[in-house]
Amino acid sequence: MLWQIIGMLAAVLTMFSFVPQIVKVYKTKSADDLSLGMLIQLSLGVFLWLVYGIHLKNAVIILANSVTFLSLSLLVFFYLLYGKSGKKI
Amino acid sequence: MLWQIIGMLAAVLTMFSFVPQIVKVYKTKSADDLSLGMLIQLSLGVFLWLVYGIHLKNAVIILANSVTFLSLSLLVFFYLLYGKSGKKI
């Protein structure tokens, strides 16, 4: 039971880990210090985890990586909007 | 075999995903746009994955999360060094 809680906590924390970053970029309208390489590498990796999870029919892998992939996509969108060419306030 | 390659590719991509971000922060000496909330939440989540992996005796979970935890620790160190109070070049 304790181990299930630890596993679930780990999954929830990592699953929603980009939410604070999305909020920060949205609030500051600034994303210059973020690495596009990191965002692309992570998005591709998480997408492959999702594909792999679908193959394994593993609901936890599918759910966790769907949430992460969606939040990363939003972050990439904000990066393109507010990055180098975006307006700094 | 194809699925093993997809799984391994997913693991390697996500495992080393913070390397480009570390290189960028180190080169620009700037980390203001990074969210400390994201870094703390991710570090804690990845650490719990590591603990959970040790409990499961799963080498892949242990290896992947060790690498991510170490790179995140380095990123947090650089954030504290070059963040708000750090020098911008």
pLDDT in tens, A63-89: 999 999 999 999 999 999 997 755 444
Are A32 and B44 in contact by the 8 Å Cβ rule? The answer is no
- B47 half-sphere exposure, CB direction, 13 A CA radius: 9
Task: Round to whole Å and give the CA distance between A83 and A69.
Answer: 20
Q: What is the DSSP letter of A32?
A: T
Q: Which residue would you say has higher pLDDT here, A14 or A87?
A: A14
Candidates B3, B33, B51; nearest CB to A31: B33
Nearest C-alpha in A relative to B31: A33
Check A45 against B18: CB less than 8 A apart.
no
Nearest C-alpha in B relative to A3: B52
- Rounded to a whole number of angstroms, the distance from the CA of A29 to the nearest CA of chain B is 9
Q: Given CB atoms, is B16 within the 8 Å cutoff of chain A?
A: yes
The predicted pLDDT at position A88 comes to: 46
Are A31 and A83 in contact by the 8 Å Cβ rule? The answer is yes
SS3 A66: helix
pLDDT confidence bin for A15, thresholds 50/70/90? very high
Alpha-carbon dihedral sign for residues A60, A49, B70, B87: negative
pLDDT at B88 over 50: no
Q: Given CB atoms, is A48 within the 8 Å cutoff of chain B?
A: yes
Report the amino acid identity of residue A63: L
Which residues of chain B are within 8 Å of residue A3 when distances are taken between CB atoms?
52, 55
The predicted pLDDT at position B60 comes to: 87
**Which residue from A8, A45, A14, A66 is spatially nearest to B52, judged by alpha carbons?**
A8
pLDDT in tens, B59-87: 988 999 999 999 999 999 999 999 775 54
Rg (CA), chain B: 15
Mean pLDDT of chain B: 91
Domains of chain A, first to last: 2-82 (1.20.1280.290)
For residue B56, which phi and psi values (nearest 5 degrees)? -80, -10
DSSP symbols for B9-70: HHHHHHHTTTHHHHHHHHHHT--TTS-HHHHHHHHHHHHHHHHHHHHHT-HHHHHHHHHHHH
- Average pLDDT score over residue span A39-44: 96
The predicted pLDDT at position A18 comes to: 96
- Rounded to a whole number of angstroms, the distance from the CA of B71 to the nearest CA of chain A is 12
- Rounded to a whole number of angstroms, the distance from the CA of A46 to the nearest CA of chain B is 7
The predicted pLDDT at position B36 comes to: 94
The predicted pLDDT at position A86 comes to: 52
